[in-house]
Amino acid sequence: MLVAHAHLLRVLTARYLGLPPSEGRLFLLATARVGRLSTEHGLPVVSGWNQRPLPPVHE
């Protein structure tokens, strides 16, 4: 897990996908949202983006 400002996370996502850092501008990330990076068939993918975090589980 990585918690950071949206601008940094957008640049990180662009680099993870093999894009230049300036292409981070293409990824909208709202406040307090979750993005998930993964791989599929050995290639980097965005498996979730701009999702609301799950509520805490109370036992």
pLDDT per position as a tens digit, 39-53: 999 999 999 999 998
In a domain, 40, yes or no: yes
In a domain, 35, yes or no: yes
Quote the domain boundaries for residue 39. 6-51
Global pTM reads: 0.84
In a domain, 44, yes or no: yes
Between 1 and 46, residue with greater pLDDT: 46
In a domain, 58, yes or no: no
Per-residue model confidence (pLDDT) at position 55: 86
- Angstrom CA distances, 41 to 2, 44, 45, stand at 24, 9, 10
In a domain, 56, yes or no: no
Rounded Cα distance between 53 and 32, Å, is 8
pLDDT per position as a tens digit, 10-40: 999 999 999 999 999 999 999 999 999 999 9
In a domain, 24, yes or no: yes
Rounded Cα distance between 17 and 20, Å, is 9
Backbone angles phi, psi at 24, to 5 degrees: -60, -20
Provide the number of structural domains found in the chain: 1
pLDDT band for 58, please (50, 70, 90 cuts). Answer: confident
